Amino acid sequence: MRCAIAGKNGRMGKTLVAALAAAPDAELAAAFDLGDDVEAALSGTDCLIDFTRPEGTLEHLEICRRRGVHAVIGTTGFSPEQKKRIEAAAREIPVVCAPNMAVGVNAVFKLLDVAARILNEGYDIEVIEAHHRHKVDAPSGTALRMGEVVAAALGRNLDDCAVYGRAGHTGERPVTQIGFSTIRGGDIVGDHTVLFAGAGERIEITHKSASRMSYALGSLRAARFLRGRASGLFDMQDVLGLR
């Protein structure tokens, strides 16, 4: 399996290159950055792994579509319209697009679905996430996905019940609200906690990343999943057989 890496000089790009170097069944076919010839880099490549920015990822995805290259997308912060462009590309090539590629985080998504169905009455729900000072989107894609999982399990629409930060005289907390709190600082790789606060008890489901390698290894697992597929849009729940 010949893989190309977008954003080779970034924190995640460097980790992906290291993960590929240690993989027995994959090799680094190309690695590129802003200003490089992406068309040439993707020539003869089986799969692109991209953790860059939405605009750049979509440009790379269009080249993948033209060349029949599979795509694994870990980029976050896509707008609804940009997500539609990913869906359109996936009608011609196979794509895994997920807000978090770590296997452990995707296990947490499953746990949250179960927890929310059990704790469906009498519990206030808060999502707290922390990342390094360089992260440009908030809340993180992982935090938003956690909120979506919980909301769906409770029969709610996250757009209708989410609140992103609080300040001033906010009034009493609505019982159906799902709150988000964002922390940015230092070199925090990624911490996520979903808090279910009830009368006399709290349940916290937490995932902490100590290294970006977990994202890289999950991405390689996603790339393997796409082998032999002609088209389709998948996420890590599909990759891990958690549907």
Question: Locate tokens 């359109």: which residue?
Answer: 88
135, 169, 207, 208: which is the annotated catalytic residue? Answer: 135
The tokens describing 22, both together, are 């240690």
DSSP string across 182-235 = EEE-TT--EEEEEEEEETTEEEEEEEEES-THHHHHHHHHHHHHHTT--SEEE-
| 135 has catalytic annotation | yes
Rounded CA separation 67/79 (Å): 25
| 70 has catalytic annotation | no
Calculate Rg over the CA atoms of the chain: 19
Rounded CA separation 169/152 (Å): 29
State the angle between helix axes of 80-89 and 54-67 in degrees (0 to 180), rounded to the nearest 10.
Answer: 20
131, 134, 192, 208: which is the annotated catalytic residue? Answer: 131
Q: Supply the residues annotated as catalytic.
A: 131, 135
